[in-house]
Amino acid sequence: MSWTNYLQPLSKQYHKHVPEEYQKYVPHLWILGAGVIGIYVLRGLISYFRILREVRGLPVKHAFLPAYEQGLRARVPHIPYILPVKDFYSRPEWDRFEKPRSDLLAYTVATQNYAIYWTANPYTAQHVFTKTSLFEKPVFNARYQAAKKFGHNIISASDGDDHKRHKSVVRGCFGEDVFRSAWEEMDNTIEMLLDEDKLREGGIMEDVGVTTIKITYIVIGKVGFGYDIPWETPRSKKGEKMGFVESYEIVDRTMLYQFVLPLWIMKILPTKELRRMGDGRTAFLAYCYEMARGKRAELTALKEAGEKSKAPVDLLGAMVHAQLVAEEEARVQHGHDSVPNVGLKEDEVIGNMFIFLLAGHETTGHTLAFTLAQLALHPEWQEEVYKEVKEVCGDERPSYRDVHRLPLCLAVGLEAMRLTDIVRQLFKVAKEDSMLPYTTWNEAGEVTHREHFVKKGSVVFIDTPACQLNPFHWKDANDFNPRRHLSDDVSRASLNNAEVPFVAFSMGPRQCIGRRFAEVEMICFISIILSKYTIHPVPIHPGETKESMKERMIGSALEDVTMTPGKFSVRFEKRH
């Protein structure tokens, strides 16, 4: 009897709808299907055992599904070995490294055919960020693919020529005029805050995280797009055209959905909220293209009229100007008018503006919220900052000319970011086989420096909060001490003046290109507010302890696209 005859009864039972003359082929299809599944499972097992060999010698956690993407890991249940969220994420952040006594952990994920590593060592992070011959950006990752929803951009650009092309144009946007404009708009928005929230004579800022996000949202609206954003967003009525400010707010407040959901899903699902998100995205993109084309036409007309155009002080205009400069330089270099693939395409300009909207205000807004919380809990640092501002500015209001003379104001913002990092994780993929440095320690705290062999294709995650709370590198790591970011002569705060690599803005050629923009916003906000007011926590009951207030104001933060503050209030008290 043929081996296929054993499957004939099964074929007839489950495939009665198959014509009789084809019944004889059904067993073969069963075998073929089983073979394909078997090969797939076998390949997965071989890959899994290969990865187990690669990670030998390190503390290892196992999972069937990946559970490391921020925004996701705070929303799904912890299922051991299947979706082990708590293995990839802990609060306090240093805990998952402290228990195995290693600042390098390995993970195996059955559904991914490469080894995954997490480091909490800032020097290992520096090695990964700066050794561009060994590590590169994993643009295949879902988050970077999602970042292209509005157009290819500097975040989603692969290392090498693609990134250089974006950076050559984007970098040209961030000049002194844009930084000065950022300061002036932050100053104007602070005045708006004091009037709208009735804080001019002192009072309570009710929801600090929501308020600081609104502040940076207004600043980037003006500096980014050249629009005056009101404190309260106007709403269009049914049948009316949605305005730019309304569409801008919708996209901003639904960022996670904008990343995850395609536009057609938003359009067809029968929920008013999702349709509004889709309408907001459509309108926002239309306005962006209209503004970019209008600015290009305006600058081109000035050039044709023989007038030398100065770069606009809004980021969109500055990017269009930088693009025109790149095209002109290419024409001069190549000697003819048509030079393809120079600078950025139109949709790439819009894609980069979307990234400015996301990275240019949400991260800074949340950092300012945590800064206010830390200052409220540490009044001694308020007085240190006030002393610095008075020494530099006297009785005058701080202005952009003072930006380099207020190092402690920047250091306060950096320290708040160190203690509560906003971005949470950065990662690279190994381009070549190489050695990855790390450390382990014993019960007595004696450190041993080691290296682990990392295969090409492995992914290395930088746990930025854990790197910045690593007690073997940061003295009194959990203490709020802004002076750790100042150089010996305390003349200027800098990411590079701390004794330990500060990884929150990344490092190397992919360091956050808007870093200085964020620094200017922080210095302006901190110096102006503390020159006029003292900041105090608002207890929720008489006798609430400082530790309880700290947990409520800072420990209540939750992961979303970025680390988002919980709801808390502070009280402004006017200085006399």
Give the C-alpha separation, 478 to 468, whole Å: 9
State CA 386 to chain mean position distance.
31
Checking if the pLDDT of 17 tops 70, the result is: no
Q: What is the pTM of this model?
A: 0.88
Give the C-alpha separation, 364 to 309, whole Å: 31
pLDDT value of position 56: 93
Question: Which DSSP symbol is given to 493?
Answer: B
Checking if the pLDDT of 9 tops 80, the result is: no
Give the C-alpha separation, 519 to 406, whole Å: 11
Higher pLDDT, 116 or 43: 116
Confidence class for position 14, pLDDT limits 50, 70, 90: low
Average pLDDT, the chain: 87
Our CA dihedral for 117, 120, 124, 127, rounded to 10 degrees, sits at 80
pLDDT digits (tens, 9 = 90+) for 429-449: 999 999 999 999 999 999 999
The CATH code for residues 55-149+424-503 is 3.30.43.20
Backbone dihedral region of 240: left (phi > 0), alpha (psi from -120 to 50 degrees) or beta? beta
pLDDT value of position 337: 61
- H/E stretch holding 393 reads helix 379-393
pLDDT value of position 8: 53
Checking if the pLDDT of 189 tops 80, the result is: yes
Checking if the pLDDT of 1 tops 50, the result is: no
Residue 512 marked ligand-binding: yes
* Strands 60-63 and 104-109, bridge-based pairing: parallel
CATH homologous superfamily of domain 171-420+515-574? Cytochrome P450 (1.10.630.10)
- H/E stretch holding 322 reads helix 315-334
pLDDT value of position 5: 55
